[in-house]
Structure 1
Amino acid sequence: MEDWTQALAPFAGVGLAFALGLLIGVERGWSHRLEPDGARVAGMRTFALLGLAGGVAGEATVRVSPLIGAAILIAASAALLIGYARAAAKDDLSATTTVVGIITLGLGALAAAGQWSLACVLAALMTLVLAQRRRLHAWLEGLSELELQAIVRFALISLAILPLLPDRAFGPMDAWNPREIWMVVVLVSGLSLIGYAASRKLGAKQGVLITAGVGAVVSSTAVTAALAARIRKADGDATVLAAGIALASTVMFVRVFVLVAVLAPFALTALALVAAPAALVGAAYVGWALHRSPPPGADNPAPSVRNPFDLGPALLLAGLVMVITLAARWAMQAFGDAGLATVLGLSGMVDVDAAIIAMSRLPAGSLSPKVAGLILAAPVLANTLVKAGLALAIARGRAGFRAAAPLLLTAAAGLTGVAALVLLF
């Protein structure tokens, strides 16, 4: 059986190379189906053969000689370039098919080399991008200079600056990690761009809510910063934006319930008495705000976002992370285990998940369920109050109070739950 497997192994890689070339060829053939015979640089059959040529070149490189494999790839690439030169002579200057053909050769070589997963993923992604030609062109035509600048700046902070920052602790008490802190800036800026795109595609109300709900799974604090910035600039209906902040906070409570149920189930019942009222108030605020906000129409159009990229709220949140992280590290060193609630409360102001994980790592029986629930309530409510303060600081004035209102209401409901837990149980 093993002899058969070894004998068929080369055929598997080359066969996959042929299949991937055929997949890409189907898309290329369909895209150019209206062109007359002989007018195309390459069609479905040619791409299938290009994938096969890449597979043969990969096998030849391993089993015969690297020179033979290189010669096959060079010859196939030269044929593609000649075809492109002939097309260019007829004023057909699109190089897409030629470039795709060269990539298909490479994918075939990867498949023959045993990199099946990488070859399949790249082939699927390339086919998807090729199939979206019309949509991508339509999107580019509707792209403004401001939006292009926003995309370029986001690429700068995420793809150029972030990888260059050191991923190690430094500063007082080794409390700061430059890459992790800058990741906060990337996250808030990315959510701003996603929210802008969703608002344009789905409408102001749906775009805000979808961005808030999905973004809160990662960081409700980042969502709050991004939406508070829009409230300050009047870039949207303030009531809907406040509903987005409330929705992000509600999603955070739901995420906390799930994490505690999985990691620290002994504290779930007591925590629910605190967090459930807060989550219900947040959900009620979302429903009230959406009912109160008028639908956009001819007499009440949805305002457009003036600047989809604003570093101010992101940098403010990053600075807050630095201050709170340093305070948590100091409290841990000063109080030790006796200051567990203080430490978890401080660390949970920005990252509630970290507090829950820390609780789950305590020895079994270290805390009673009631005490454990109260301790976990500290970071949850502290996080909510910090987000309220962040909304006030970013949106400012009356707009700041509007942005912070749902968070203050949910925090008040949570504090009521704390009082009930202390007095009744």
Structure 2
Amino acid sequence: MIFEATTLTGLGVAFGCGLLIGVERERSKGSGPTRAFVGVRSFALVSFMGGLAQTLSASMVLVAALLVLALSVISHWRDRSDDPGVTTELALFLAFLLGVNAIGNPAISAGAAVVVASLLNLRGPLHHFVRVTLKSGELRDALILAGAALIVWPLLPDKENAWLLGANPRRMWGLVLVIMTMQGAAHIALRMAGPRMGLALTGLASGFVSSTATIATMGQRYRHEPALLGVTASAATLSNVATYILLLVVTLTIAPDHVGHLAPSLGSALLATLLISAWRLRSASDGATRRGQRIGRAFSIRQALIFAALLSGATGIVSYANAYLGATAAQAGAMLAALADVHAAASSILSLAASGTVQAPQLVPTFLLAVSANSVSKLIAAASGGKRFFVAVAPGLLLMLLAMWLPYMLSQY
């Protein structure tokens, strides 16, 4: 048989796959009477055998597979260690399959071999994570989130429902998933980076999804862990950085000709938000880290459902207002939409400006009023965290709003 260049490449990859996995298994093989049955040479030969059998015939692949299976059974039978398992045996058969696959798909086998070797090498950290780090409640929450995303969400109808005020059930449930995911991200960040930086970074990242939802989430976190007042307030404040960045991006995308009209207000608000966030984060107490606070549930399904219902209800009200009041209610509808999502409201206003329906002199005050309406929603979200959380967050929100209006007010004189 004449071997082509691709065949030789596949055989080389097959040998390399077995060698890579075998090196990791050799380090875990041990020594003496209790050592494992196979090591680096066995893995390399088995994987190379799989590739060679694939180049010969399907019957040879079957014979080689039976041989590897027999070797795996013998390996497990001869295992005299205190903690016998089947990891090495499974890895041996997988190395054979990677060798077979390497002839036709060398890139896939090479990548898979790296993944397998890495997984085998992470035995200790993975066992520690599952047995020690991961709590039973966190595993339960992860399963609930997976079920909500992979089972419930695909089954919901993807169209407006009159019984839900025109809301789309699938989109509404998608919002629930987003809020639950944000809460879970905050939980993970708190576990990994500590209360101060973990929640702060989560607040900034989550703000690109919904600053209002982030503020509400941080308020609930504070209610469960009052010692985290400073860091939850910092995260809530940082979420507004994403709001103003996204507003600038939306403006550049939809109505680039009007950037000059809105840039002073957006720039002033963004600068004020960065300064307030920096001060808020610097003054946040990290005493919770020193005392070791209790880590609660990853997310609250009840809170996510209530918040999604409120936003969907606001969307339904907007659709009904536009339907019954006509085109003249477009600006009023955008104002109402801003209560739920400022970026959607901004897109509506900027689209009207781009089409000439809203003239430049009316664009800025209409835009600022929409952002102000959204700030009302943020204040309500902050109030859901209780009096102390509201007092910690509300002044910053009002200062950001004042900074946004300041350039426009000065331009009127």
TM-score, scaled to structure 1: 0.79
Q: 241-250 vs 395-404, which deviates more? A: 395-404
Distance (Å, rounded) in 2 between the aligned partners of 1:369 and 1:122: 57
Give the CA deviation at 1:183: 2.4
Distance (Å, rounded) in 2 between the aligned partners of 1:232 and 1:35: 55
Asked if the contact 2:272–2:399 (Cα under 8 Å) also holds between the matched residues in 1, the reply is yes
Distance (Å, rounded) in 2 between the aligned partners of 1:325 and 1:28: 58
**Distance of aligned partners of 1:129 and 1:349 in 2 relative to their CA distance in 1, 3 Å threshold:** farther
Asked if the contact 1:235–1:303 (Cα under 8 Å) also holds between the matched residues in 2, the reply is no
Distance (Å, rounded) in 2 between the aligned partners of 1:345 and 1:58: 66
Query: Which of residues 69, 89, 94 is equivalent to 1:98?
Result: 89
2:182 alignment partner in structure 1: 191
Alignment pair present for 1:170 and 2:155 = no
Which residue identity does 1:73 align to in structure 2?
A
Distance (Å, rounded) in 1 between the aligned partners of 2:14 and 2:338: 50
Per-residue CA deviations over 1:243-265 (Å, capped at 9, x if unaligned) read 10010111221233244335542
Q: Cα RMSD over matched residues?
A: 3.7
Alignment pair present for 1:52 and 2:43 = no
Asked if the contact 1:263–1:356 (Cα under 8 Å) also holds between the matched residues in 2, the reply is no
**Distance of aligned partners of 1:160 and 1:24 in 2 relative to their CA distance in 1, 3 Å threshold:** farther
Q: 283-292 vs 310-319, which deviates more? A: 283-292
Unpaired segments of 5 or more residues in structure 2?
Answer: none
Distance (Å, rounded) in 2 between the aligned partners of 1:53 and 1:174: 64
Percent sequence identity over aligned pairs = 24
2:39 alignment partner in structure 1: 43
Unpaired segments of 5 or more residues in structure 1?
Answer: none
1:21 alignment partner in structure 2: 18
1:72 alignment partner in structure 2: 64
**Distance of aligned partners of 1:411 and 1:72 in 2 relative to their CA distance in 1, 3 Å threshold:** farther
1:303 alignment partner in structure 2: 293
Alignment pair present for 1:317 and 2:307 = yes
Asked if the contact 1:216–1:248 (Cα under 8 Å) also holds between the matched residues in 2, the reply is yes
Distance (Å, rounded) in 1 between the aligned partners of 2:368 and 2:39: 63
Distance (Å, rounded) in 1 between the aligned partners of 2:291 and 2:24: 40
SS at match of 1:176: coil
Per-residue CA deviations over 1:36-59 (Å, capped at 9, x if unaligned) read 598224333333344434545655
SS at match of 1:237: helix
Distance (Å, rounded) in 1 between the aligned partners of 2:26 and 2:326: 68
Distance (Å, rounded) in 2 between the aligned partners of 1:58 and 1:177: 52
Per-residue CA deviations over 1:148-174 (Å, capped at 9, x if unaligned) read 4333333333344334x3351130299
Asked if the contact 2:183–2:298 (Cα under 8 Å) also holds between the matched residues in 1, the reply is yes
Asked if the contact 1:216–1:251 (Cα under 8 Å) also holds between the matched residues in 2, the reply is yes
Per-residue CA deviations over 1:13-32 (Å, capped at 9, x if unaligned) read 444344333333333334x1
Distance (Å, rounded) in 2 between the aligned partners of 1:70 and 1:248: 58
Per-residue CA deviations over 1:364-392 (Å, capped at 9, x if unaligned) read 66365555555554554444432332232
Which residue identity does 1:316 align to in structure 2?
I
2:379 alignment partner in structure 1: 388
Which residue identity does 1:301 align to in structure 2?
R
Distance (Å, rounded) in 1 between the aligned partners of 2:21 and 2:90: 12
Q: How many residues align?
A: 409
Query: Which of residues 256, 259, 264 is equivalent to 1:268?
Result: 259
TM-score, scaled to structure 2: 0.81
1:82 alignment partner in structure 2: 74
